[in-house]
Chain A
Amino acid sequence: MTLGGIFSYLVFFLIFTGIYAVMTLALNMQRGFAGLFNIGIAGFWAVGSYTSAIMTTPPSAEHLGGYNLPFVLGLLAAGLVAALLAFLIGIPTIKLREDYLGIATIGIAEIIRLVIKNEEWLSNGVRGIAGIPKPMAGFLGHNYNIFFLLIVVLIIAIFFYLSEKGINSPWGRVLRAIREEEEVVKAAGKNVVRYRMEAFVLGAFMMGVGGALYAHFTSFISPEAFKPMQATFLVWIMLIIGGSANNFGSLVGALLTWGIWTGTEFLTGMLPAAYTTQASALRVILIGVFLEIILLSRPQGLFGEKKYSASSSKS
């Protein structure tokens, strides 16, 4: 591989790391700070991807719309629709024990997959949506990926800043207090369900935006484009490795996990081509065993929970 080849691969690698980092920051908002159990990340991801695709593609007979809107509006719409979905799931489940939310999110992710697969008028079914616009692609030519990486980094920076700001505010303190001692917070007269719901909806918004980034980068999405449980699972590993309730850890966790995941691809790539199915199965087994080892030996992740002192609040 030439030096230029290595560089462009690195950019490609970092873009995917970045998209996953958005998802991990989002999950950290839900799970790390609010203790919420979301294993339907792929559902919010898909909703974000499809919403932005429908919003930004030119009019098409194959799926809903094609509303030809600018990229930024596509991202925003993706976040909002994913947030709305979270709100609707949250109504019946968020006041119950965390496992109910887990089961409900897995269910909604499955139903979203069924809708995307079967409702051709909406999503063009299994054929998927192609030609999702890459912002400013015509203008930038072959340096495009570097530009896209900058967009991803910008989004991460915004989410990171807002998340840190939020968690250090009185709102964030209540949230963390709920996670630790729900009864005490209730006794203090706070509406626990409302705080939880807000964290869930905010996280879902970020996931929707992450999904939109994925759609615009790959420029093609279909129900089979990625494996939902695998994607969800990777984000969870990223969060656990980085340490729950630690935004910085989330970023490092995303980088490390995506690195390991890509590394296993090189490893299994050495197997003969006839073994592709076995190779991809082996990758999932390896990453699964890796997670179990982390859970058993280092449950707090690499960085543990960041200490947020009450006085660090500026509000």
Chain B
Amino acid sequence: MAVQLFLNGVILGSIIALGAIGLSLIYGILKFGHFAHGDLMTLGAYFAFLFKVQLALPFWLAFILAAMLTALVAIILNFVLYRHLRKRDSVIVMISSVGAALIIRNIILLFWGPQNKFYDKAIQMPIILGDGFLRIKENQIVILILALILVIAVHLFLTRTKLGKAMRAMADNIDLAQITGINTERVIIWTWAMSGVLTAAAGILLAFDTHLTPVMGWNLLLPLFAAVILGGIGSPYGAMFGGLVIGISQEMSTLVISAAYKPAVAFTIMILMLIIKPSGLMGKKVS
């Protein structure tokens, strides 16, 4: 039972990790919590639904198109709203992102309605390992592999490319990065693009594991922030690790508490981290 929950936790954790990487970089670079991140995730999942189910494209193509479209939406949000509000009080940008979250969620409701949707209605038989000891669906194996590929891609991007290094530098210290001649506006746009892609991927994989609902991403917002704070704001690797810890803790917690309180687990871990070490495991000091 515990091993099964652990596995479920790793699956949920990789999904949270994908969403949290972008959230953490944006948080580190632009210094505000992006509260529309969860709903951007939902949007990515619904874009994929549009391409895969409504337009009957192959899954890989739907995945890529949805990721690109979500990245575009993230860039537009930055262009229309955050770029102008950033220079003011951070609370203003954050409340604007709360507004963006509500707008996105209700646009989804408007076009796709409140009912659950599925990429594939066929019921998958889980693969049973070790005499019923461990059950895993084919989809879940695909999720784990895709998440791993994306995380490796992010790692290579952040360590091997000039743009990736600039992003890390800016998340670390934006003033210093500016002095060294980094074109910060350009890097910010690419950060939104990358966050959009990763967030869409997280949403698609979550819907692939279960189903689509207009609140799926909103419900993951707290775990996403918990992962970011646990790992340290601005640290992409911290976000990956934080995502896994949150995902595994949420699933394992059902051994002792009611499953209804899973979101409370993420919250509790976050609060404990804020009490013990507000800068997170891999972040720099915050005031």
Are A100 and B81 within 8 A (Cβ)? no
Chain A neighbourhood of B99, CB < 8 A: 233, 288, 291-292, 295
Q: Tell whether, in the assembled complex, residue B109 and residue A110 are in contact, meaning their CB atoms are under 8 Å apart.
A: no
Could you show 18 A-B contacts with beta carbons less than 8 Å apart? A92-B274, A93-B271, A96-B278, A99-B90, A100-B274, A106-B221, A107-B267, A117-B260, A118-B258, A236-B95, A277-B114, A281-B109, A282-B110, A288-B100, A292-B103, A295-B81, A295-B99, A299-B85
Chain A stretch 244-296: residues in CB contact (< 8 A) with chain B: 277-278, 281-282, 284-285, 288-289, 291-292, 295-296
Are B274 and A98 within 8 A (Cβ)? no
**A103 x B263 contact (CB < 8 A):** no
* 7 more CB-based (< 8 A) A-B contacts, given A37-B91, A277-B109: A39-B35, A99-B33, A104-B274, A106-B222, A110-B222, A118-B261, A285-B103
CA distance A289 to B100 in the complex (A): 8
Known: A114-B264, A281-B110. A31 touches B91 (CB 8 A): yes
Q: Is the CB of A295 within 8 A of B95?
A: yes
Shortest C-beta distance, A56 to chain B (Å), equals: 28
Per-residue contact bits, chain B 73-91, to A (CB 8 Å; 1 contact, 0 not): 0000000110011001011
Is A97 interfacial (CB-CB < 8 Å)?
Answer: yes
Q: Does A288 contact B103, Cβ atoms closer than 8 Å? A: yes
Nearest-CB distance from B228 to chain A (Å)?
A: 9
A107 touches B270 (CB 8 A): yes
A146 on interface, CB distance cutoff 8 Å:
no
Q: In this complex, what residue of B is CB-closest to A179? A: B89
Residues of A within 8 A of B263 (CB): 107, 110-111, 114
Asked if B106 and A111 sit within 8 Å, CB to CB, the answer is no
Does A65 sit at the interface, judged by CB under 8 A?
A: no
CB–CB A111/B90 < 8 A: no
Known contacts A240-B95, A299-B88, A299-B92: A103-B229 contact under CB 8 Å: yes
Chain B residues in contact with chain A, CB under 8 A?
32-33, 35, 80-81, 84-85, 88, 90-92, 94-96, 98-100, 102-103, 105-107, 109-110, 113-114, 218, 221-222, 225, 229, 258, 260-261, 263-264, 266-267, 270-271, 274-275, 278, 286-287
Give complex CA distance A230, B81 in Å. 20
A-B contact count (CB 8 A): 124
Contact A98-B113, Cβ < 8 Å, known A39-B98, A92-B275, A103-B33: no
Beta-carbon nearest neighbor of B101 in chain A: A229
Give the most central of A98, A99, A277: most B CB within 10 Å.
A99
In the complex with contacts A35-B91, A102-B33, A108-B267, A296-B274 CB distance below 8 A? no
User: What are the 6 closest A-B residue pairs judged by CB atoms, nearest first?
Assistant: A281-B109, A288-B103, A281-B106, A107-B267, A284-B106, A281-B110
Q: Would you call B91 and A98 a contact (CB within 8 A)?
A: yes
CA distance A302 to B221 in the complex (A): 32
Please indicate the chain A residues that have their CB under 8 angstroms from the CB of B88 in the complex.
Answer: 299
The answer to whether residues A92 and B221 also contact, given A31-B91, A288-B99, A288-B106 and a CB cut-off of 8 A, is: no
Residues of B within 8 A of A35 (CB): 91
